[in-house]
A and B are shown apart, each in its own frame.
Chain A
Amino acid sequence: DAGVIQSPRHEVTEMGQEVTLRCKPISGHNSLFWYRQTMMRGLELLIYFNNNVPIDDSGMPEDRFSAKMPNASFSTLKIQPSEPRDSAVYFCASSLAQGSSGYTFGSGTRLTVV
């Protein structure tokens, strides 16, 4: 298994531009999580999906952020328009929803907004 796959690994964009981060969860996992990691706040849960349905998006900082999961093998996190304070490492993780199990994290996307 290739694990959770995120793309791109690095993204540098100008303030005001749209940014789309992508995630492919582990096959068979039915829960998907988007996290943001910064020095200021550590690991923050932004949103998570069960069976492609958003369950809790209370961590999404503002309307500029949106996430979709059109099918079981793909999710996107979009920031429009991006701002310098969005600079962070964004992680996607997946797990089995049934029973207790841990998350498998992707390698993350390092976003820099200049």
Chain B
Amino acid sequence: GESVGLHLPTLSVQEGDNSIINCAYSNSASDYFIWYKQESGKGPQFIIDIRSNMDKRQGQRVTVLLNKTVKHLSLQIAATQPGDSAVYFCAEKYTGNQFYFGTGTSLTVIP
């Protein structure tokens, strides 16, 4: 029979274009957020983080935006490259040292 699994949101972008990946988080008390990148066959890797007292943070080619009013987080990747193809997860922390992960977005970069 047909297997039922998570329906990962997918995003396809042309190499060189900018990518925007969105995430709706669940808890208004969350005070720390991280974006992770997971390439096929590997564990999730830290990309960038942001604390709740900020609304924007920039890294190398990546920017994270936080909108606490609507509990929304986004990851912007500038000049997307084939090596950026992966599944991207947002994670929120609101208690102890435990992070809660979203279901992920699959990014495919078309050469």
Contacts and interface: CB of A to CB of B under 8 A. Distances in A.
Closest 7 CB pairs of A and B: A105-B43, A39-B5, A100-B32, A43-B101, A102-B34, A102-B46, A42-B103
Given A39-B5, A42-B104, A43-B104, 15 more contacts: A38-B5, A39-B3, A40-B4, A40-B5, A40-B6, A42-B6, A43-B44, A43-B101, A48-B98, A56-B98, A95-B97, A97-B97, A100-B31, A100-B51, A105-B45
Given A39-B3, A40-B5, A100-B31, A105 B44 contact: yes
Contacts of A42: 6, 101, 103-104
Contacts of A93: 43
Given A31-B97, A56-B98, A100-B31, A107 B6 contact: no
B97 A39 contact: no
Interface residues of A, number: 26
B106 to A, nearest CB: 12
A50 interface: yes
Interface string A28-55: 0001010000111111010010100001
Contacts of A48: 97-98
9 contacts: A39-B5, A43-B89, A48-B98, A97-B97, A100-B32, A102-B99, A107-B42, A108-B42, A108-B43
